[in-house]
A and B are shown apart, each in its own frame.
Chain A
Amino acid sequence: MSPWIVGFLLLIVYPMISSLYFSFTKYTLLSPPTWIGLENYRLLFTRDPRFWLAIRNTVWIIAVGVPLRIAFGIFTAWLLTLPQRGSRAYRTLYFLPSMAPPAAAALAFVVVFNPGFGPVNQILRGFGWHNPPLWFYGPGSSKWGLVLLGLWGVGDAMIIFLAGLLDVPRQLYEAADIEGATGWQKFRHVTLPMISPVIFFSLVIGVIYGFQLFTQAYVTSLAVSGTSITEAAQNLGSPQGSMLFFSVFLFDQGFQGFRMGYAAALAWVLFAITMVCTVAIIRGSRRFVHYQGGGFR
């Protein structure tokens, strides 16, 4: 059993250290790496506006997308807890979109949200909105398109919330009813605290994966700009850089620009930021998370 573990750690630990080393070098793969110290980091932070753009875009999508997704996940899970015939069929239906391959789903959304002939804008126009958003074709609205794509695929988060909601002890609701609590009060004082561990989990996972967002951003960006994979470098993050997320930026720098050292530095910055956010959430969680079994002491 140990040999497996050793091999596994080696394939993680060695590249980690190696990538840390690379981040201090200039490396184009054509020649051995040359040590340039903190130069990559200096360039990152002071000379590269695209770095800050990538950070802003990524932080935006996390700050907006993750809470919305959690709220929508709780809402849809709650819908499924209502006593209703055929709720299992609804559960399957709600879960189905999250099963769609991300690349295909992203493309589907580009078409569905096409500003000209897509059904969404047609419906919006039907309601009297004369200039509906350009969605993926407009720099201001493209990220909202991604947010909606994330909400459409909320199934995986929803299932976890469903399990959490079903776990709330019924006596608590009954006690609240006896005290005359309204539906909203029951939600705030019984449901929310009881599912707070699930919210915590979803928050941490959502933030961690949010920082690594790649496929949907890359695919929609390519589809909208109409360039091929090989030409993509010029038009990265279209429209107008609004879809330039950290992972996409890193991919471009390292594997299309072949600036390996720079890409390694970017990766470590990403790691540091993710760690900081995760720790912040964990610290903050002590205040709002309530564990039924007494939790982790």
Chain B
Amino acid sequence: MPEDIRRRRFLMSVARHAGLIAVAVGFLAPFVFVVLTALMTQSQAVTPSFWPRPFRWSNFTEVFDRIPLLAYAWNTTQIAVGSTIGVLVSCIPVAYALSRMRWRGRQLAFLLILATLMLPFQVTIVPLYIIWVRLGQIGHLTPLILPSFLGDAFSIFLLRQFFLTIPEELSDAARVDGASEFQIMTRVIVPLAKPAIAAVALFNFLYNWNDLFAPLLFVGTNQKLWTLTIALSEFTQRHGTEWNLTMAAAILFMLPVIVLFFLAQRVFVEGVTLTGVKG
């Protein structure tokens, strides 16, 4: 290969690497800074220095002292796990009905469900809040968990798209063997749809774990039932200038999510592309 072409290829490769790394640094820098700040003393956190001196690992334990983090984590877990179970229990049958069964009005039902995706949640939130007030459930976790058992449009949509890719012959074979629809759903379709179901479970878990608006609305008044997100927002109010502690709290909050992400990485990327945006 001629010398100058080889040299050009090498320079292009260097340029590409440089570009990729530069962008990566941009993405990682906030994380790095947050971690470093979380390890500083309070006085040092507000100075422009970059490296903690000394390393105050105790900041992390101090966060636990300042706010009942474990209690909040438990609340958040209850909500996230409960909602995810609710979504799975309700959306799988609906998606199944929309994709694997034939009945009149099937298309219309699907369109209606899709339409609700476009509805800003603010439109329904006011009457929903009032309903829960009348039921006396404001300040409890119920309004945050129960509605999941009634379905979620995005999850139904994603599951339906995936179920449609499973060949009809498999269902037919099961029907010939005398299986009921419910059995087909649980024994044939669900095992085959595990990636999509995993993606739905993860999306919902994360969404509920991170949500601020709904928990703020329904349990904002009952401090014992606060979620981690609410606690984090409030943290700056109580301990405003203690940025080191705030960053420590932020990290503690992010940690489970990031760990979960690394464990389930592939599922995420597949799940997002499963929404089938290819036109």
Contact = CB atoms under 8 A, between A and B. Distances in A.
B254 A104 contact: yes
Contacts, number: 252
A274 B235 CA distance: 33
Q: Chain B binding site: helix, strand, loop or mixed by DSSP? A: helix
Given A111-B243, A197-B278, A292-B279, A268 B123 contact: yes
Interface residues of B, number: 88
A292 B277 CA distance: 12
Most buried by A among B19, B45, B243: B243
Given A101-B209, A119-B29, A112 B277 contact: no
B93 A1 contact: yes
Given A4-B93, A8-B94, A223-B236, A15 B127 contact: yes
Given A112-B34, A270-B123, A274-B120, A104 B236 contact: no
Given A116-B46, A267-B122, A293-B279, A93 B34 contact: no
B217 A29 contact: no
A254 interface: yes
B83 interface: no
A255 to B, nearest CB: 6
A122 B50 CA distance: 10
B126 A104 contact: no
Most buried by B among A5, A22, A107, A110: A5
A271 interface: yes
Contacts of A9: 112
A62 interface: no
A103 B233 contact: yes
Q: Chain A binding site: helix, strand, loop or mixed by DSSP? A: helix
Given A12-B116, A163-B277, A260 B126 contact: yes
B30 A229 contact: no
A289 B253 CA distance: 41
Given A19-B127, A112-B34, A119-B29, A247 B122 contact: yes
Contact of A12 (B26, B124, B211): B124
Interface of A: 1-2, 4-5, 7-9, 11-12, 14-16, 18-19, 22, 29, 76, 79, 82, 84, 87, 90-97, 99-105, 107-112, 114, 116-117, 119, 122, 152, 156, 159-160, 163-164, 167, 197-198, 201, 208, 211-212, 214-215, 218-219, 222-223, 226-229, 247, 250-251, 254-255, 260, 263-264, 266-268, 270-271, 274-275, 278, 289, 291-293, 295
10 closest A-B pairs by CB:
A197-B279, A1-B97, A228-B237, A18-B127, A8-B151, A15-B124, A15-B127, A101-B210, A267-B122, A291-B279
10 contacts: A1-B94, A1-B96, A4-B94, A11-B147, A84-B20, A107-B247, A108-B34, A112-B29, A119-B48, A270-B122
